[in-house]
Amino acid sequence: MGHISLQDGRWGEMSLAEQMANIGSEYGRAKKWKEKGQKKMFWGALERMLELMDLSIGDGRWREGRLKELCRLRELVCEEMLNENSQMADFSAYFMAFNVLARKGKNGK
């Protein structure tokens, strides 16, 4: 597991926006490496992304109202990343919105 330190509680201290922004970073890496044909790098980024998604899915704070969305997102992202002929939408803009929200939260704006 690539994010062992996050499992020890740091992940549970992050807001949903911060968690999703971190997931989005790994999503972007996986997408980039897939496009470049770098299979080893792609699989590493995809694995890290899925680990982070699983940590969010397991976060009890999101059980009410967010769990279904998180599980569906995981399913759709896997379909996009693992199906060569997928016509799935790119989730970059989805994750970028969380990045912006997380930055606003950190700056108090």
36-45, 59-68, 86-95 — which is least confidently predicted? 86-95
Q: How far apart are CA 56 and CA 84, in angstroms?
A: 27
Q: In the chain, count of helices (H) and strands (E)? A: 6, 0
Q: What's the pLDDT band for 109 if we cut at 50, 70, 90?
A: very low
pTM summary value? 0.86
**Segment 37-64, tens digit of pLDDT:** 999 999 999 999 999 999 999 999 999 8
Q: Which residues contact 48 (CB under 8 A, 6 or more apart)?
A: 2, 3, 26, 29
